[in-house]
Chains A and B, each alone.
Chain A
C-alpha cells in the first residue's frame, strides 16, 4: 500500500493532528512514513500545508510530486484548492465546507464550492456544523478524518486504535467523543456520495 496525502488549512487549525493519527496507524503496520510540517512565521493564521506519505516500500522524497497525491484533506475549502496541482487526476479532495475567513478579499464561497465540485471525486463536509452537534469545536479535524477514512487504506479497527492512542492521555471521554466524531464524518461522507 502507498498513499500520498496533502493536508491543507490555516495556521492554528491543527492540520498536523490528522497527519499524526494516520501516521500512528501506519507506524503500527510498520509502514514507511515521511511527514512534512510547517513551523515558524506561516503558522500565524496564514496558509499552511503538510504532506504525509506512507508506503510499504521505502520512500525517498519528503515532498509529493505534482499530480501525485491520492488525497487532499482540507480543513478549509479555499485552502484545499490551493494545492490542487498536487492531486492525482483520479485523486480525492475531501474538504471542510465551512470557510475560515480572516482576509478581507475572501472569494465568494459558492465560487469555491463550484471549483471543488469540478473534481468528480470530492467530498464537501460541513465539519464545523457537525462538530457543534456534538457540542465540541475541537473535533472538526476528527470529523474530516472520518470522511477521509474509506480512501486511506486502513481497516476501521486500525484507525480507531490510532485515535485511541492519540487521545488516551486526555481521558476516556475525549477518546469516545473523537470516535463519535470520526463515525459522524464517515457516515456523512457515505450519504454525500449516495444521497
Chain B
C-alpha cells in the first residue's frame, strides 16, 4: 500500500516539491501560503537532500531568486499569497518571455472572502496575462501530484507554471498518497543560449513571438490533461463547469454521482474544445469557480451566446466571497437541509492584539503624543499592527499595501498634512518600506516614521525578520540624520518617556525614524517554553 500522510494543501505542495527534484524554495510569508515554505524549512528530509528554503525580503526578490535558480538549471519554487503576486508581477510576467531553464513553479495562494487579506483577487488572471499554464488543484492529492506534473510541464515547454490554491485548500488537511519514487535534483547547467534571459527589445520581440507560438501546444496540454475531466452523463438539461475546489462542492451535493455532464477544470489555458462540447450537448451551462468569474466571463463574451450561462455574473452564485456546498446547491436548485439561524444575541468577536503585545504600548504612546493635533494623520499598512485601527486604540488611518505606511505619509506631508506619521512593522519595512524612506530622505519630506520592531514576522507565525538588528543602520545608510533615529522600548513603565520622544520628533521638520523595539510576545513565549523544555531534558 502506498504511504499516506495527513497534509494541509500547503504541505502537500511542499512535500510534492521535495519528492520532485526541487532544489530551492523562495518565499515571503503570507496567509494562506506560509505553510508551504515552512514545511520545507522544518523538513529533515529536505535538509538531508540539501533542498534550500529562503525566506526572501519580499515576493519580488523571491521570484527573482527562483528565476536565477532556474537559470542555473535547477528546479525552483516561489510561494506567496495572492497580493504578493502583485509585488512579484514584474519578474513573473517577464519570466514567461525569457522562458526558463530548470523547472519553475510559482505558487499563489488566494484568499476569497478575505479571511486574512485586503482583497480577493484571483491569481488565474495573472497566469492568463503572462501566457503561462495554470494548475488549480481541487484537493490535497492533486496539490501533491501537480508539483511533479508542473515541473515536467515547465521543463517540456521551458515555461514558468503558476499554481493557484484558495484558503480552503491551503488550510485543510487530508490524506495524501505519496509516490513510491523520488525525482533527483537537476545538475547545475546554464542555458544553451546565454542571451536567453537578456530581454533587450530586439531579443524580447523574438522571445515574445516564441511565447505566443507555444500557446497552441499549451492549449493541447490542457485539453488532454489528466486533471481536466469531461464526465458525460445522461441528463443534458444542464451542463456544469466546475474549476478547482468548486468541483468538490459540486460532487458533495450529489454524493459523487452527478446526473448532468460535468467539465472539471484544473489546468489552463481553458480547455476550449471541452467547453464547446459541453455547450453543444447541454441546454444550459452552470459555471462554478472559486474567485472571479474568469471562465464565465469568457464564455459569455461581449456578444453573448444563445444558451443561458449561469454563475456569478447573473446572481445564481454570489458575485463575491468564497464558495461552499450550500451556495452551489442553491444555484442548481437542489433542495438543501433545513438549518437553524444564528441567534440574534451573537455579536462579532474581532481579532485583537495579544496581551502584552509591544504594538499596544507603542500605539498608546503615539495616541497620546498626537492628542493635541486633529485626527487622521497616521498611515500604516500590513501586519498584526493593522489591528491598531480597531477600538480601543483606533490609532491608524490606512492599510493599503505593504510599505505604503512610509510613502503615503510622504504624499500626505507633500500635500501639507503636518505632522504626518507612518507606522510600519520591521518585516514590512524591509519588504517595501526602505525604498519609500529613500524617497522621503531625497526630498527631505516632513514625515515621522515609526518602525514597530518586534524582531519577527509576527502575523504569519514568526518567520525571520530580515532586518533584525540592522534597522538603525539601514535608516542611517540611506541618509536619515543620526540624531533623528530614535530607539524606544514600548513598555508601560516607559510610557511618559516614549510620549516625550515621539512629540519631539513630531515637531522636527524633516525625516525622523523612531524604532520601537521589543520582541513579539508570542515568539518570546515560544522561546521561553523551548528553553524551559531544554532545561527539563538536561
Residues of chain A at the chain B interface (Cβ within 8 Å): 10-11, 23, 27, 32-47, 58-68, 78-79, 81-82, 84-89, 102-103, 105-108, 111-112, 115, 119
B6: contacting residue among A33, A88, A119, CB under 8 A: A33
Contact A61 B252 (CB under 8 A): yes
Contact B340 A63 (CB under 8 A): no
Contact B172 A65 (CB under 8 A): no
A105–B31 CA distance with the chains assembled, in angstroms: 29
Indicate whether A84 sits within 8 Å of B171 (C-beta atoms), given known contacts A10-B349, A42-B116.
no
Contact B171 A68 (CB under 8 A): no
Contact A39 B349 (CB under 8 A): no
Contact A35 B345 (CB under 8 A): no
A82: contacting residue among B256, B346, B350, B384, CB under 8 A: B346
A36–B35 CA distance with the chains assembled, in angstroms: 14
Which of chain A's residues have a CB closer than 8 A to the CB of B339?
66-67, 84-87, 89
CB distance from B4 to the nearest CB of A (A): 9
Which of chain A's residues have a CB closer than 8 A to the CB of B347?
78, 103, 105-107
Contact A61 B249 (CB under 8 A): yes
Residue of A34, A89, A107 with most chain B CB atoms under a 10 A cut-off: A34
A60: contacting residue among B8, B248, B351, B354, CB under 8 A: B248
Contact B171 A39 (CB under 8 A): yes
Which of chain B's residues have a CB closer than 8 A to the CB of A112?
345
B324: contacting residue among A11, A37, A63, CB under 8 A: A63
CB distance from A53 to the nearest CB of B (A): 9
Contact A63 B116 (CB under 8 A): no
Contact A61 B340 (CB under 8 A): no
A79: contacting residue among B31, B349, B461, CB under 8 A: B349
Contact A41 B115 (CB under 8 A): yes
Contact code string B111-143 (vs A, CB < 8 Å = 1, else 0)? 000011000000000000000000000000000
Which of chain B's residues have a CB closer than 8 A to the CB of A107?
345-347
Query: Which B218-249 residues have a C-beta within 8 angstroms of A?
Result: 245, 248-249
* Cβ-based interface call for B510 (8 A): no
Contact A62 B340 (CB under 8 A): no
Q: With CB as the reference atom, state the residue of chain A lying closest to B536.
A: A171
Which of chain B's residues have a CB closer than 8 A to the CB of A87?
339-340
5 shortest A-B CB distances, which residue pairs?
A: A67-B337, A40-B31, A40-B116, A46-B351, A67-B339
Contact B338 A89 (CB under 8 A): yes
A100–B256 CA distance with the chains assembled, in angstroms: 41
A45–B355 CA distance with the chains assembled, in angstroms: 9
Which of chain A's residues have a CB closer than 8 A to the CB of B8?
37
Contact B350 A46 (CB under 8 A): yes
A103–B337 CA distance with the chains assembled, in angstroms: 33
Q: With CB as the reference atom, state the residue of chain B lying closest to A76.
A: B349
Indicate whether A34 sits within 8 Å of B173 (C-beta atoms), given known contacts A45-B354, A46-B352, A111-B345.
yes
Which of chain A's residues have a CB closer than 8 A to the CB of B43?
none
Indicate whether A38 sits within 8 Å of B342 (C-beta atoms), given known contacts A44-B354, A103-B347.
no
Contact code string B160-190 (vs A, CB < 8 Å = 1, else 0)? 0000000011011111000000000000000
5 A–B contact pairs at CB < 8 A? A41-B351, A42-B115, A61-B249, A62-B248, A65-B336
B329: contacting residue among A32, A35, A65, A108, CB under 8 A: A65
Which of chain B's residues have a CB closer than 8 A to the CB of A34?
172-174
Indicate whether A58 sits within 8 Å of B172 (C-beta atoms), given known contacts A84-B341, A115-B343.
no
* Cβ-based interface call for B459 (8 A): yes
* Cβ-based interface call for B353 (8 A): yes
Q: With CB as the reference atom, state the residue of chain B lying closest to A68.
A: B337
Contact B343 A84 (CB under 8 A): yes
Which of chain A's residues have a CB closer than 8 A to the CB of B171?
36-39
Indicate whether A103 sits within 8 Å of B349 (C-beta atoms), given known contacts A60-B248, A62-B248, A66-B337.
yes
* Cβ-based interface call for B490 (8 A): no
A175–B231 CA distance with the chains assembled, in angstroms: 50
Query: Which B322-375 residues have a C-beta within 8 angstroms of A?
Result: 324-326, 329, 336-343, 345-354
Contact B346 A88 (CB under 8 A): no
Which of chain A's residues have a CB closer than 8 A to the CB of B6?
23, 27, 33
A10–B351 CA distance with the chains assembled, in angstroms: 9
Contact A36 B172 (CB under 8 A): yes
Which of chain B's residues have a CB closer than 8 A to the CB of A60?
248-249, 251-252, 256
Which of chain A's residues have a CB closer than 8 A to the CB of B253?
65
* Cβ-based interface call for B387 (8 A): yes
Residue of B115, B325, B353 with most chain A CB atoms under a 10 A cut-off: B325
13 extra interchain contacts, Cβ-Cβ under 8 A, other than A39-B461, A65-B252? A27-B6, A41-B116, A41-B384, A44-B353, A44-B384, A45-B351, A46-B350, A58-B256, A61-B249, A61-B324, A65-B337, A88-B337, A102-B352
A32–B34 CA distance with the chains assembled, in angstroms: 25
Indicate whether A39 sits within 8 Å of B34 (C-beta atoms), given known contacts A61-B325, A81-B342.
yes
Indicate whether A37 sits within 8 Å of B352 (C-beta atoms), given known contacts A61-B248, A115-B343.
no
B32: contacting residue among A39, A43, A61, A82, CB under 8 A: A39
Contact B345 A41 (CB under 8 A): no
Indicate whether A40 sits within 8 Å of B115 (C-beta atoms), given known contacts A23-B173, A32-B175.
yes
Q: With CB as the reference atom, state the residue of chain A lying closest to B355.
A: A45
CB distance from B54 to the nearest CB of A (A): 21
* Cβ-based interface call for B460 (8 A): yes
Q: With CB as the reference atom, state the residue of chain A lying closest to B392.
A: A104
Which of chain B's residues have a CB closer than 8 A to the CB of A111?
345
Residue of A33, A61, A79, A115 with most chain B CB atoms under a 10 A cut-off: A61
Contact A67 B341 (CB under 8 A): no
A62–B8 CA distance with the chains assembled, in angstroms: 11
Q: With CB as the reference atom, state the residue of chain B lying closest to A105.
A: B347
CB distance from B129 to the nearest CB of A (A): 26
CB distance from B507 to the nearest CB of A (A): 34
Contact B460 A81 (CB under 8 A): no
A115: contacting residue among B116, B168, B345, B384, CB under 8 A: B345
Contact A102 B349 (CB under 8 A): yes
A37: contacting residue among B172, B256, B387, CB under 8 A: B172
Q: With CB as the reference atom, state the residue of chain A lying closest to B382.
A: A41
Which of chain A's residues have a CB closer than 8 A to the CB of B326?
65-66
Contact code string B1-45 (vs A, CB < 8 Å = 1, else 0)? 000001010000000000000000000000110110000000000
A87–B338 CA distance with the chains assembled, in angstroms: 10
Contact A62 B169 (CB under 8 A): yes
CB distance from B109 to the nearest CB of A (A): 11
